[in-house]
Amino acid sequence: MLVEECLLQAEEIRDWMIDLRRELHQFPELMYEEVKTSARVRRTLDELGIVYRYPVAQTGVVASIGRGDGPCVALRADMDALPIHEQTNVEFRSRNDGKMHACGHDCHTAMLLGAAKILKQNESQVGGTVKLLFQPAEEGGAGGKRMRDEGVLENPAVQRIFGLHVWPQLPTGALGARPGVFLAAAGWVEITVRGKGGHAAMPHLAVDTVLTSAQIITNLQSVISREIDPLDSGVISITMVHGGDAYNVIPETVHLRGTIRSLSLAGLQQIQQRVREVAAQIAQAHRCEAVVEFPGNDYPPTVNDEHCWNVAKDLAGRLVGGEHVVELAPVMGGEDFAYFAEKVPGCFVALGMRNPEIDAVYGVHHPKFKADESVLPLGTAMHVAFALSSLDELRRDTYQP
């Protein structure tokens, strides 16, 4: 199937995808709680007559289209939402108070279901197998890692993987990515500062955890500004500071939380080590104790295989015109597509959807984040075109990675 034909067929199911996306948008579910979302995905696959494996990683679904043998290409979408109270004025806004699809995963799921529909309609042209991975818990729960550990890249062995993310920094109609490291290694940090509580009027009888926490927060930034090569990249953002219940009481304990990022796992570990040391010793200097933990999953960086990016770039150019295909700089956001791309050559692509005309100008994770649904067919076409052209190439065996 020609690339242009992929887009034509995707345009034909535009309304079907928008309806699906809006339904998912109204019922956002957090990581590993994607029960209704997963059920909706399976119901759609049932309607399309597509076989799937469920459950994978709790709520995840892996659908298969094609002959069931190799070559095999995987397409991936994430399904989870965020603990954000939606502040948009769309009529299909979230009905689950305090939860919102503010990262576009509803769009990702709808686009991948669109790809499923088109691939099934053209199954005779699928020379091998396309696996569609509907994964849970992208937002910090490492659902990608759990799916990988549960064998989704095997039987048949996935040789190439592709994923998309909606991208409000790029205009509608543009696509972008880069070869090599595209997204950061990311993890979270928790620091518990313990001192001695007491009357705020008599600080000399207490050990002040609030002042100590403030010193730790400011000093951590010197790790970034003074210890990392200015041409390298690193981020420490302390984003949660919890302590104290009264204006006149020095609290016994203060809890800090935040995120650490780097463009490599080694860089992430280096920053973690320094956070541990700086926090402990600043605390000690102020007669407190700091316990530093990294309780979450350390996401690896998302690395695009150069050849896969060239394939995607070429297809994107044919769909939107080469002038709308952008080679982006690396981004410090993390993404657990990284767990798949660590094992098989892959490409993760940014799908532009900034559109001031409909107020789609807010970044992801913003309570007013709005998706430009007009790009859904383009995303679906990219999925289908990447799968079919990769299968062709792998079958011809002209490319040896």
Question: Looking at this protein, which amino acid is placed at residue 289?
Answer: E
Q: Would you say 252 or 342 has its CB closer to Ni ion?
A: 342
| Closest separation in Å from C-beta 337 to Ni ion | 9
Q: C-beta of 108: minimal distance to Ni ion in Å?
A: 8
Q: Say if CB 102 and CB 86 are below 8 A apart.
A: yes
Instruction: Output the CA torsion 286→289→290→293 (10° steps).
Output: 170
Q: Which is nearer to Ni ion, 103 or 224 (CB)?
A: 103
337 vs 386, which CB is nearer to Ni ion? 337
Q: Which is nearer to Ni ion, 72 or 351 (CB)?
A: 351
Considering the complex, what minimum distance in angstroms separates the CB of residue 389 from Ni ion?
25
Residue 138 CB, nearest distance to Ni ion (Å)?
6
Minimum CB distance to Ni ion smaller for 181 or for 183: 183
Shortest spacing between CB 105 and Ni ion, in angstroms: 6
- We find the least distance from the C-beta atom of residue 125 to Ni ion, in angstroms, to be 31
Q: Which is nearer to Ni ion, 10 or 103 (CB)?
A: 103
Per CB under 5 A, residues contacting Ni ion are 103
Distance CA 281, CA 293 (A): 15
CA 45, CA 27: separation in Å to the nearest integer? 19
Measured at CB, which residue is nearest to Ni ion? 103
Contact (Cβ atoms closer than 8 angstroms) between residue 319 and residue 378: yes
Closest distance between Ni ion and the C-beta of residue 165, in Å? 6
Question: CA-CA-CA-CA torsion for 192, 194, 200, 205, nearest 10 degrees?
Answer: -170
Which of these, 260, 387, 382, 271, lies nearest to 317 by C-alpha position? 382
Q: Which is nearer to Ni ion, 167 or 215 (CB)?
A: 167
